[in-house]
Amino acid sequence: MATIEPYETASGRRYRVRYRRPDRKQTDKRGFRTKREAEAFASSVEVSKLKGEYIEVQAGRATIGELGPQWLGRQTHLKPSSFRTVEAALRNHVLPVWGAHSVSEIRKTAVQQWIAELTTGNGERKPKSATVVIRAYGVLAGILDDAAEDRRITSNPIRGVDLPRKGRKPHIYLNHEQVHALADEAKHGTLVLVLAYCGLRWGEAVALRVRHLDMLKRRISVEENAVEVGGRVAVGTPKNHKRRTVPFPRFLAERLAKQCEGKGRDDLVFPGEDGAGYLRSTRVQAHRGGWFTGAVRRAGLPRITPHDLRHTAASFAVSAGANVKAVQRMLGHSSAAMTLDIYADLFDEDLNAVSDALDQAVSLSSVGKMWANSPA
């Protein structure tokens, strides 16, 4: 049981509480102005130990600045590109504001104010996008989740704050004529067609090797992903770490075969401009008047990126009669729900089909016959 002892200070009498932690080691807390305050603290310690909710005071004094880098070092599941954005959020938004704060003193209302200032700007800094704000919050919340797991705090106090909603830009879908016009104008026309008809991500397409193509079955095996991170190319597995097989149309077979002429099984199908290494991202080339930007302009198309060709591939698949599961597998989404969430606008015709089917069902029922025989 805890014991309470008075002691004298220059400011008057104070009280110290001596107690044992769950590991049986003795510790104390001093500075209580009244004996009642000391008794209340002692009681709370005993109750928290009985409930398994005891928090060591010293443990809660660890700061975000101390725990943040440790938390980041444990995010080994992230791909290099994702890790880079998370590290930037910690460095640019979390540590400057919360680095000196201990985990035990962070309050939900203060975090809500921080989110509001990030979203609207605070006079010194410009407003941040919803994506940036949500990512920064996620980093801080993740650090506090770990602090709760380590019994530095009883629970994460900032879960449940109000976050800004992400705005979704309307997708740009090209038609077949536009895609082929773009391919005709592009230096890497076959790559344009692969993106537009197979739905590969840029990193998946530029990482394709000859051995990944099955020309007889007309299949592409998506096994690698090459992403530029900090000016360097990081090669790993596709997004969600899932390999998949994607079909390609017959008209692409000859073009892909020509693209592979004179190459070994391990050579890249779409190598860099010098014939070696990976083809650089069009984001890097855009400000230099790169090949994709120039092709878009010459083809008279609206401003698009290679990722918009992935949206186009989804639209082609749906218009050809593919169901949502087939589109999900082609694009490599983690679930059909994700596909529907992203491309709900492409399935409007399915809603019309439901309406038409209900009309037909009613017309064939006794209710429909009654309506048909009723006077106008």
Would you state the structure tokens that stand for residue 252, as one six-digit string?
Answer: 């692409």
Q: What is the CATH number of the domain that holds 240?
A: 1.10.443.10
168 part of a folded domain: no
d(CA 95, CA 179): 46
160 part of a folded domain: no
Give yes or no: residues 306 and 262 share one domain. Answer: yes
Give yes or no: residues 284 and 199 share one domain. Answer: yes
Phi, psi of 9 (to 5 degrees): -130, 175
With bands split at pLDDT 50, 70 and 90, how would you rate the model's confidence at 280? confident
Question: How many beta carbons lie within 10 A of that of residue 37, not counting itself?
Answer: 15
Q: Are the beta carbons of 23 and 49 closer than 8 angstroms? A: no
Give yes or no: residues 247 and 356 share one domain. Answer: no
207 pLDDT more than 90: yes
76-80, 108-112, 160-164, 340-344: which range is least confident on average?
340-344
Give yes or no: residues 108 and 203 share one domain. Answer: no
Phi, psi of 31 (to 5 degrees): 100, 5
Give yes or no: residues 220 and 322 share one domain. Answer: yes
Q: Are the beta carbons of 311 and 201 closer than 8 angstroms? A: no
pLDDT at site 343? 84
d(CA 52, CA 47): 9
With bands split at pLDDT 50, 70 and 90, how would you rate the model's confidence at 255? very high
Mean pLDDT in residue range 27-45: 89
Mean pLDDT in residue range 29-40: 91
Mean pLDDT in residue range 178-187: 95
Give yes or no: residues 28 and 96 share one domain. Answer: no
Mean pLDDT in residue range 269-298: 78
d(CA 225, CA 20): 54
Mean pLDDT in residue range 312-316: 92
d(CA 63, CA 101): 5
Mean pLDDT in residue range 78-90: 91
pLDDT tens readout for residues 103-161: 999 999 999 999 999 999 877 788 999 999 999 999 999 999 999 888 888 889 999 99
Q: Are the beta carbons of 77 and 42 closer than 8 angstroms? A: no
Output the CA–CA distances (angstroms, integers) from residue 176 to 142, 304, 347, in the order listed.
Answer: 45, 15, 19
With bands split at pLDDT 50, 70 and 90, how would you rate the model's confidence at 168? confident
Q: Are the beta carbons of 306 and 195 closer than 8 angstroms? A: yes
Q: Which residue has the higher pLDDT, 251 or 323?
A: 251
Give yes or no: residues 221 and 256 share one domain. Answer: yes
Question: How many distinct structural domains can be found in the chain?
Answer: 4
Domain that holds residue 17: 3-53
pLDDT at site 286? 46
Instruction: Tell the residue number behind the tokens 């019309």, with chain if given.
Output: 352
Would you state the structure tokens that stand for residue 146, as one six-digit string?
Answer: 């770990």
Phi, psi of 62 (to 5 degrees): -60, 135
Give yes or no: residues 331 and 215 share one domain. Answer: yes
88-92, 190-194, 341-345: which range is least confident on average?
341-345
Q: Is the pTM of this model over 0.75?
A: no
Average pLDDT of the chain is: 87
Phi, psi of 235 (to 5 degrees): -105, 130
Q: What is the CATH number of the domain that holds 67?
A: 1.10.150.130
263 pLDDT more than 80: yes
d(CA 86, CA 143): 12
With bands split at pLDDT 50, 70 and 90, how would you rate the model's confidence at 311? very high
Give yes or no: residues 189 and 301 share one domain. Answer: yes
pLDDT at site 352? 60
Q: CB under 8 Å, gap of 24 or more: what pairs does 3-6 form?
A: 4/35, 4/38, 4/39, 4/42, 6/35
Classify 69 as helix, strand or coil.
helix
Alpha helix ranges (H) inside the chain: 35-51, 64-73, 80-89, 95-98, 108-120, 130-149, 176-185, 189-198, 202-206, 250-259, 282-286, 291-298, 306-319, 324-331, 336-342, 348-364, 366-373
Give yes or no: residues 105 and 249 share one domain. Answer: no
